A = this chain, B = another copy of it.
C-alpha cells in the first residue's frame, strides 16, 4: 500500500430541511457572498426560495451569478470572477450539482490570482489560496461537495480539464435528499453512472496488490448506487432511496476508495472529458458510453480483477474467470441501458468521423494527468469500441 494523506475538512450537514440553516452557517464566513447556480431548476423546486430567505434572515448580502452550464465553461467563470471582484464578495455559495460547485471553486481560486484561471487547469500555475466555498448540493454525482476537485471546459481550445487541490474543499456542504426529488429520470441515471465510475476507476487500475478495504468499499458503493437508482427511478420521492444515492455518490469520490492504491488512475474520465468537450453531452452519458468499451479493451490484461467485480457486484462468479469477467461487463452495460443511459456513439449521435481528432485530445489529457500507458492505437481502438 502506498503512503497517503487523507483529509476532508468539509463539514457535511445531511438531512431534510437542512437548507434553511445556510444563513446561520454562512455568517462565520462574512457578510457578502456570490450565489452561484445553474439554469434555474432551483427556482422550480423551491430550493432558491429557501436559500434566499435563510440568507436574508441572517442579514447576509448576496450577488447572483446564475447560468452555469452542465459542462461549466471558462468564459462564464471569468464573468463570475469579474462580478465577484467588482462586488467585493467574501465567499461563494454554490447551489446545484457538480458543475455549479466546480465553477464556484474556479471563481474562488481565480479571485485570489492575478493571472488567467485556466492556468490552474492546464497545469501552468498552482492554487495557493482561494475564497471559502460553501455548497448546497441538489444533484448528487460529481462528489465535488466533499472533495478538492474541479473540472472546467475551455470553449476556445475544446479542452475539458480537471485537477485536485486541497484549497478547494468546500468548508460546508448541505445535502438535503428531498431537493433531489425533482431530478428527471435521465439525469438520475447519469448521476448513477458518474458515481459508479468514480467509485470504480481506482478498483480497475490499481496494481492488483491486496487492497481489501478499498476494493470492498467500492463493491459496496457500486451495489448500493445500483439498488438506490432502481428505487428512485420507480419512485422519485423515495427518501431512503434518494438519501442513499446522495450519500453514496459523495463517498465514491472523496478519497476513501482510492487512498493507498498504487497505480490507480482515471482513464474513463479521461475519455469522457474529451467526449464532453467535443459534444457537450452529459458527463454521466459520456461515461456510460466509454466504460463498457474501456472494460472490454482492458479485460484481457486484467481478467482476475474484472472477474472479481463480476462476482462481487453481480454474483456472476464461476470457474472460468475470463467468462465471468465478460459477463460482468455485459451486466453493467445492460444495466446502463436499462436505466436509460447511452452505451454507444450511435445512441448519442456522435459521428464516427471525429475519432482521429478525439484521440489526439485524449492523449493530450493523458499527458497532463500523467496517464502513460495508452498509445494512439489503444485510444482509437477504445473509441472504435464505442461506435
A8 at the interface (CB under 8 A from B): yes
Cross-chain contact B239 with A1 (CB below 8 angstroms): yes
A contacts with B, residue count (CB < 8 A): 42
- The residues of B that contact A1 with a CB separation of less than 8 Å are 15, 177, 239-240, 243-244, 247
A248 at the interface (CB under 8 A from B): yes
Q: A210-B240, A243-B1, A248-B213 are in contact. Are A14 and B224 (CB under 8 A)?
A: no
Cross-chain contact B221 with A213 (CB below 8 angstroms): yes
User: Complex formed: what's the CA distance from A7 to B170 in Å?
Assistant: 12
User: Complex formed: what's the CA distance from A211 to B247 in Å?
Assistant: 11
A11 at the interface (CB under 8 A from B): yes
A339 at the interface (CB under 8 A from B): no
Instruction: Specify how many copies of this chain sit in the oligomer.
Output: 2
Name which residue of chain B comes closest to A220, CB basis: B216
A194 at the interface (CB under 8 A from B): no
Nearest CB of chain B from residue A247's CB, rounded to whole Å: 6
- Could you mark each residue 203-234 of chain A with 1 if its beta carbon is under 8 Å from any beta carbon of chain B, else 0? 00000011111001101110110011000000
Cross-chain contact A213 with B224 (CB below 8 angstroms): yes
Nearest CB of chain B from residue A12's CB, rounded to whole Å: 4
Name which residue of chain B comes closest to A6, CB basis: B12
Q: A217-B220, A223-B216 are in contact. Are A210 and B4 (CB under 8 A)?
A: no
Which residues 1-27 of A sit at the B interface, judged by CB distance below 8 A? 1-16, 18
Nearest CB of chain B from residue A228's CB, rounded to whole Å: 7
A358 at the interface (CB under 8 A from B): no
Nearest CB of chain B from residue A22's CB, rounded to whole Å: 14
A112 at the interface (CB under 8 A from B): no
Name which residue of chain B comes closest to A214, CB basis: B247
- Could you mark each residue 240-255 of chain A with 1 if its beta carbon is under 8 Å from any beta carbon of chain B, else 0? 1001100110010000
User: Complex formed: what's the CA distance from A4 to B248 in Å?
Assistant: 14
Cross-chain contact B14 with A244 (CB below 8 angstroms): no
Nearest CB of chain B from residue A326's CB, rounded to whole Å: 25
User: Complex formed: what's the CA distance from A11 to B9 in Å?
Assistant: 8
- The residues of B that contact A4 with a CB separation of less than 8 Å are 12, 14-15
Q: Which residue, A16, A209, A210, A221, has most C-beta atoms of chain B within 10 A? A: A210
Nearest CB of chain B from residue A6's CB, rounded to whole Å: 4
Cross-chain contact A224 with B240 (CB below 8 angstroms): no
Nearest CB of chain B from residue A28's CB, rounded to whole Å: 14
User: Complex formed: what's the CA distance from A220 to B177 in Å?
Assistant: 25
- The residues of B that contact A8 with a CB separation of less than 8 Å are 8
Q: Which 9 interchain pairs have the tightest Cβ spacing?
A: A3-B15, A216-B220, A7-B11, A6-B12, A212-B224, A1-B243, A210-B240, A213-B224, A4-B14
A-B CB contact pairs (8 Å), 25 listed: A1-B177, A1-B243, A3-B13, A4-B14, A6-B11, A6-B12, A7-B10, A7-B12, A8-B8, A9-B9, A14-B259, A210-B244, A211-B244, A212-B220, A212-B224, A212-B228, A212-B244, A213-B248, A216-B219, A216-B221, A217-B220, A243-B260, A247-B259, A247-B260, A256-B256
- For the complex with contacts A3-B16, A6-B12, 7 further pairs of A-B residues with Cβ separation under 8 Å are A5-B14, A6-B14, A209-B240, A213-B221, A216-B221, A217-B217, A251-B256
